Amino acid sequence: MKLLETVEQFNNLKNNEQVIMIFTADWCPDCRVIEPELPEIEAEFSEYTFVEVNRDQFIALCQEYDIFGIPSFLAFRDGQEAGRFVSKDRKTREEIEQFIQGLSN
């Protein structure tokens, strides 16, 4: 999984790839719960580039895209938002997989 380093990188990925941005933070217990599942999810949906966005480093992006809870998932295709799974609730692997499967429609 890529780690977001700059806003320019965010925009480049958003505009040029099928990408799923995963908003997280080191201190987030719900993020740590799903963390071991992410490599398998990433392998299952290899058509997407998965990018970890540290909420604390990119708070302006979180505000711009209304990311008020973590972990949250924001998908882009061709520069447009393709879907969002954004809430303050803990996410299960099944919920994440259903969200990504729904992007194919």
CA-wise closest residue to 71 among 57, 91, 56, 51: 91
- For the question of residue 31 being annotated catalytic, the response is yes
Catalytic residue among 31, 51, 70, 103: 31
Catalytic residue check, 62: no
In one-letter notation, the amino acid at residue 68 is: F
One of 4, 20, 28, 38 is an active-site residue; which one? 28
Consecutive H or E run containing 28: none
Ranges of beta strands (E only) in 1-105 are 2-3, 19-24, 49-54, 72-77, 80-85
Catalytic residues: 28, 31
